[in-house]
Amino acid sequence: MAKINQNYLKLPGSYLFSAIGKKVREFEAANPDKKVIRLGIGDVTQPIAPKIIESLHAAVDEMGKAESFRGYAPDLGYDFLRNIIAEKDFRSRGCEISPDEIFISDGAKCDCGNIQEIFSTDNKIAVCDPVYPVYVDSNVMAGRTGTYDEDRGQFDGVIYMPCNAQNGFAPDIPEETPDLIYLCFPNNPTGAVITKDRLQKWVDYANDRGSVILYDAAYEAYISEPGIPHSIYECKGARNCAIEFRSFSKTAGFTGLRLGFTVIPKDLKLEGVSVHGLWARRHGTKYNGAPYIIQRAGEAVYSDAGRAQVKEQIAYYMENAKLILEGLKSAGYEVYGGMNAPYIWLKTPGLMTSWEFFDHLLGRANVVGTPGSGFGPHGEGYFRLTAFGNRENTIEAIERIRWL
């Protein structure tokens, strides 16, 4: 008799963004005359840049001719893309990452969700609180946690590291030693960044304890201030203890194209085994490469024209972030983030819970945001807005919130 993976039943309710989507659809069905503005899920609104579109068309044409048709991609990605990433994202910043340490994939969400597979189910994980739900949920599914404690709003057996205004939303070293440490900077959902000194402390700690840092740098392109690390490999010793995830979703608007990559340095060894080799084996067995045309689109992001166009888009979103930050501040809200990240993290007014504020905002201002408590108990009383809307909607949303 076939049996299900009971760990799935530990997950309360549905995935956060699916739950929000359902609420919004219901509201819209009941209020067809209302114009809802979405600043909730972190989806972009700017179209794909012209240089990338040009590259997509060229690659599509190649697929239509026998002499240039491409079938299965190399398991770990095309060299043209791995080479340019190693050069432009890492070597140019002084990070010693070689092309064959880069694994091309269909996005950072998949990689962040799947990476835990190559580690033992005995490992204890540590996550920031609040946190992007995928890190915890994928470990729950794998049986690396206990059950969900409704009162605490946390899973047993997981080390939650509170991130709050006191510690600048960057976690302190926990009392109990974790085996796998998930860090994400610039942070989703808080929009916070970590200084190089503090990140170096984490790297030193991981090397000292034999822990592995799973570093999500999906929002790296939004860093505007100097002195903030773009990659964990800017820290000494990170090649021995860190895996880094990168995404084209927010960098170049690829949420609907799907492209990302994971870096696993060959120096990262556990019990004498190369972690790089384990991930290569997973890729080879359970994955079949990102589409050729999408990898060509990724390559175009690094061209001079592509880079300039993409920078313009990021500047556009960051202007939105500035408008949200300033608008909310002048309306009396306590706000964080929005300087080096496309996320604004605001304190809900008075004693309102995050979901109460969600309903309030949706019902009264017809604006969709993300309840902070959806990211963990320390997110309770907070709310996330994104800078990914278009200018007009962003301005209108802030106006509506100001008049609440």
Q: Mask: binding to its own copies, 289-328, rule CB under 8 A, as x and -?
A: xxxxxx----------------------------------
Q: Which of 6, 32, 225, 332 binds its own copies (CB under 8 A)?
A: 6
- Measure the CA–CA gap between 35 and 163, rounded to whole angstroms: 34
- Measure the CA–CA gap between 162 and 196, rounded to whole angstroms: 20
Q: How far is the CB of 83 from its own copies (least distance, A)?
A: 18
Q: How far is the CB of 161 from its own copies (least distance, A)?
A: 17
Q: Which of 288, 315, 334, 404 binds its own copies (CB under 8 A)?
A: 288
CB-CB contact of 110 with 83 (8 Å): no
Q: How far is the CB of 24 from its own copies (least distance, A)?
A: 13
Is 258 among the residues that bind its own copies (CB under 8 A)? yes
Task: With both helix axes pointing from N to C terminus, report the angle between 50-63 and 292-301 in degrees, rounded to the nearest 10.
Answer: 150
Strand 242-247 to strand 212-216: parallel, antiparallel, or no bridges (unpaired)? Answer: parallel
Q: How far is the CB of 396 from its own copies (least distance, A)?
A: 16
Looking at 167-175, 221-229, 253-261, 378-386, which segment touches its own copies (CB under 8 A)?
Answer: 253-261
- Measure the CA–CA gap between 393 and 38, rounded to whole angstroms: 8
When the beta carbons of 128 and 293 are compared against its own copies, the nearer one is 293
Strand 260-263 to strand 269-270: parallel, antiparallel, or no bridges (unpaired)? Answer: unpaired
Is 220 among the residues that bind its own copies (CB under 8 A)? no
Nearest to 289 by CA among 58, 62, 71: 71
Amino acid code (one letter) for 322? K
Q: How far is the CB of 144 from its own copies (least distance, A)?
A: 11
Number of residues that bind its own copies (CB under 8 A): 85
Which residues within the stretch 148-187 sit at the binding site for its own copies (CB under 8 A)?
179-180
The CA-atom distances, in angstroms, between 375 and each of 169, 222, 316 are 13, 21, 26
| Alpha-carbon torsion (8, 13, 14, 17), positive or negative | negative
Q: Mask: binding to its own copies, 116-155, rule CB under 8 A, as x and -?
A: -xxxxxxx---------xx--xx--x--------------
Query: Position of tokens 């050069």?
Result: 87
When the beta carbons of 42 and 381 are compared against its own copies, the nearer one is 42
Q: Mask: binding to its own copies, 260-279, rule CB under 8 A, as x and -?
A: ----------xx-x-x--x-
Q: Which of 97, 101, 103, 106 binds its own copies (CB under 8 A)?
A: 106
When the beta carbons of 158 and 339 are compared against its own copies, the nearer one is 158
Amino acid code (one letter) for 363? G
The residues pairing with 384 across neighbouring beta strands, listed in sequence order, are: 345, 370
CB-CB contact of 57 with 303 (8 Å): no
Which residues within the stretch 42-81 sit at the binding site for its own copies (CB under 8 A)?
43-48, 50, 53, 56-57, 60-61, 63-66, 68-73, 75
**CB-based contacts of 292: which residues, under 8 Å, 6+ apart?**
59, 62, 63, 70, 73, 78
CB-CB contact of 389 with 353 (8 Å): no
Q: How far is the CB of 367 from its own copies (least distance, A)?
A: 18
Amino acid code (one letter) for 153? G
Task: Please report, in angstroms and rounded to a whole number, the separation of the first and last CA atoms in the chain.
Answer: 56
Which residues within the stretch 367-396 sit at the binding site for its own copies (CB under 8 A)?
390
Q: How far is the CB of 101 from its own copies (least distance, A)?
A: 17
| Alpha-carbon torsion (150, 154, 157, 162), positive or negative | negative
Q: How far is the CB of 265 from its own copies (least distance, A)?
A: 15
Q: Mask: binding to its own copies, 324-353, rule CB under 8 A, as x and -?
A: ------------------------------
Q: How far is the CB of 75 from its own copies (least distance, A)?
A: 7
